[in-house]
A and B are shown apart, each in its own frame.
Chain A
């Protein structure tokens, strides 16, 4: 064995040295590709189960080798719809598991953190409907809203900031949108405004909002009715003038299931659950 080892080390052998006492060694490649007929397969499996190291190691390399045959397949490209479907499923499961972690795990939000929400709601129950003419592009954008998230993100990038602004403007002005005032916990902070359209999404705007701390950003939460845990939503970043306008096209809950909107300060990238007390809260329904 030593001489074999040295020889292999020097690269003179190919890694498939056949031990003359081991007739099983020549079944390994066929076993890895899955083409052994039942009797030979059973014999080899019994031999492997007996703990033959040489065969086991050879099998590992053969499995790797067999996997490379995939490159014989002609190149083909899956549809964008497949990616969209997958991402939609995965996003939904990620949101679901975040919510479950909050319920199940001990790392949920301390109840005291959200106790203040109810009190703040008393000050913020203000909503209004604004009448306005439907824009020509509403139909187009509603159709967009049905396309999977991934496809939408790609299109949006192409459509550019102008289209996003147009979409936000439409939500802002559509008569079906509901206005939600978000009142600050700190009276020195400005009020924020949100507009929620049942089909087109939710826009949140702020002016003269101080920058969050270093490596921090603002994050929106949807607080469900019936004592549910806050659902994470978009992250927000005021510009140099303290202004921001941001849109969620498909809020995870419907308006009627949502009690309130809240905004907290979170680490860059956002959090699956709030890690600080809400800075703004606004009642929805």
Chain B
């Protein structure tokens, strides 16, 4: 069944980002600048939301883009670039946020130098451009009950675990678990819907 859900982009079709990443291997500064122009806003927005402090956020964004530049050979060109970049940026920002805490050690166990990310984007990724997909994400999560939305934000932007979220929101653990899962499944439905 996953053949249907996950299909690599049409054979031979290379995304502009993958092309730019290839050019980074040849130390192409222009390609780096273009990648930065294309994605620095969303990366910075995400990191700033996590860290809430402009100068620290810029340091993390700088680290993320330098990692792209210095370790571009480690990036698997067949993987969807933007989700991968966003995962890398989130991991870095959460590391910064939770320096030396238990949460940090826990996360490190599952974080490699480059993050794990889908080896192919779901085919419905192409149904919406980035802007419309962003609108869809905001709309759907915004439509959830406030406590459920809060639980998802605490997990994603603060890096909290189920039990930490339950304690923070004073809600039963089982409720928190089902909120996070059902919220993400609803998001998937929303992004899959073609209209």
| Alpha-carbon separation in the docked complex, A87 to B37 (Å) | 12
Scoring A45, A66, A79, A89 by chain B CB atoms within 10 A of each residue's CB, the highest score goes to A66
A83 touches B40 (CB 8 A): yes
Shortest beta-carbon contacts, A-B, top 5? A8-B1, A73-B49, A67-B83, A71-B134, A60-B118
Interface hub of A4, A34, A85, A97 (most chain B Cβ within 10 A)? A34
What residue of chain B has the Cβ atom nearest to residue A54's Cβ?
Answer: B2
Which residues of chain A in 21-67 are interfacial with respect to chain B, using CB atoms and an 8 Å cutoff?
A: 26, 29-30, 32-38, 41, 45, 57, 60-67
In this assembly, does B56 line the interface, its C-beta being within 8 Å of a C-beta of chain A? no
In chain A, residues 62-96, which have Cβ atoms closer than 8 Å to a Cβ of chain B?
A: 62-79, 82-83, 85-87, 89-91, 93-94
Structural contact, B49 and A82, CB atoms closer than 8 A = no
Q: With an 8 A cutoff between CB atoms, is A140 at the interface?
A: no
A248 in contact (CB, < 8 A): no
- Number of B residues with CB within 8 Å of any CB on chain A: 74
Query: Is B44's CB under 8 angstroms from A64's CB?
Result: no
Given A15-B122, A30-B180, A64-B121, verify A4-B1 contact (CB < 8 Å): yes
- Are A66 and B156 closer than 8 Å at their CB atoms? yes
Expressed in whole angstroms, the Cα–Cα distance for A38 and B155 within the complex equals 15
B165 at the interface (CB under 8 A from A): yes
How many Å lie between the Cα of A33 and that of B33 in the bound state?
A: 30
| Residue in contact with A33 in the complex, picked from B106, B184, B189, CB distance below 8 Å | B184
* Chain A contact residues, CB within 8 Å of chain B: 1, 4-5, 7-9, 11, 13-17, 26, 29-30, 32-38, 41, 45, 57, 60-79, 82-83, 85-87, 89-91, 93-94, 97-98, 150, 272
Which residues from chain B contact A89 at a C-beta distance below 8 Å?
66
Distance, CA A248 to CA B155, complexed state (A): 50
Q: How far is the CB of B175 from chain A (nearest CB, A)?
A: 13
- Identify the closest chain A residue to B154 (Cβ): A35
23 A-B contact pairs sorted by A residue (CB < 8 Å): A8-B1, A14-B188, A14-B189, A15-B5, A30-B177, A32-B184, A33-B180, A33-B184, A60-B118, A60-B120, A63-B83, A65-B184, A65-B191, A68-B133, A68-B187, A69-B141, A69-B187, A72-B137, A72-B138, A73-B157, A83-B33, A86-B66, A91-B29
Query: Which of A29, A57, A69, A98 makes the CB contact (< 8 A) with B137?
Result: A69
Known: A15-B188, A30-B177. A35 touches B155 (CB 8 A): yes
**A86 and B188 within 8 A (CB):** no
Do B122 and A9 touch (CB < 8 A)? Answer: no
In the docked arrangement, what's the CA distance between A1 and B4, Å?
13
A17–B185 Cα distance when bound, in Å, is 12
Assess whether B45 is interfacial by the CB under 8 Å rule: yes
Contact call A71/B42, Cβ cutoff below 8 A? yes
Which residues of chain B from 13 to 57 have any CB-CB distance to chain A below 8 Å in the complex? 27, 29, 32-33, 36, 40-42, 44-46, 48-50, 57
Q: Give the CA-CA distance A78 to B46 in the complex, in Å.
A: 11
Please tell me if the beta carbons of B188 and A16 are within 8 angstroms of each other in the complex. Answer: yes
How distant is the Cα of A13 from the Cα of B110 in the complex, in angstroms?
Answer: 30
Q: Which residue of B lies closest to A69 (CB)?
A: B156
CB contact list, B105-162 vs A, under 8 A: 106-107, 110, 116-122, 125, 133-134, 137-138, 141, 152-153, 155-157, 159-162
Given A57-B6, A69-B156, A75-B41, do A35 and B162 touch, yes or no (CB 8 Å)? yes
* A213 CB, min distance to chain B CBs, angstroms: 24
* Chain A residues positioned under 8 Å from B181 (CB to CB): 26, 29-30
Measured CA separation A37–B167 after assembly (Å): 13
Q: Is the Cβ of B152 less than 8 Å from the Cβ of A83?
A: no
Is residue B96 within 8 Å, beta carbon to beta carbon, of the partner chain? no
Q: How many Å lie between the Cα of A63 and that of B120 in the bound state? A: 11
B125: A residues at CB distance < 8 A: 64
Smallest CB–CB gap between B132 and chain A, Å? 10
Q: Which single member of A33, A45, A85 contacts B155 (CB below 8 Å)?
A: A33
B92 contacts chain A at the CB level, 8 A cutoff: no
CA A130 to CA B34, docked complex, whole Å? 42
B174 vs chain A, min Cβ distance (A):
12
